């Protein structure tokens, strides 16, 4: 028997955030290389956000 999965919407929120981050970072890109870097940044945007928050809090 397969255990019941948690029915939270965190996956959908992360997915929408990922799409938004991809659009944002690619719009800021001025070359193919920076577009690829933007895509990679979009994959780890939650970690970047938490890092910047902790940096701000000191």
Q: Determine the length of the chain.
A: 58
44: how many CB neighbours lie within 10 A of its CB?
12
Q: Which of 48, 47, 45, 54 is nearest to 21 (CA)?
A: 45
- Residue 14 has a pLDDT of 81
18: how many CB neighbours lie within 10 A of its CB?
16
- Residue 39 has a pLDDT of 92
- Does residue 5 have a pLDDT over 80? no
- Residue 2 has a pLDDT of 58
Would you list the domain boundaries of the chain? 31-58
In tens, the pLDDT along 7-56 reads: 667 777 788 888 998 999 999 999 999 999 999 988 888 888 888 989 99
């Amino acid at each position: 028997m397969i255990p019941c999965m948690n029915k939270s919407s965190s996956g959908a929120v992360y997915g929408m955030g990922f799409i938004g981050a991809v659009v944002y970072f690619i719009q800021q890109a001025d070359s193919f290389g920076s577009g690829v870097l933007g895509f990679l940044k979009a994959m780890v945007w939650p970690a970047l956000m938490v890092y910047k928050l902790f940096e701000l809090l000191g």
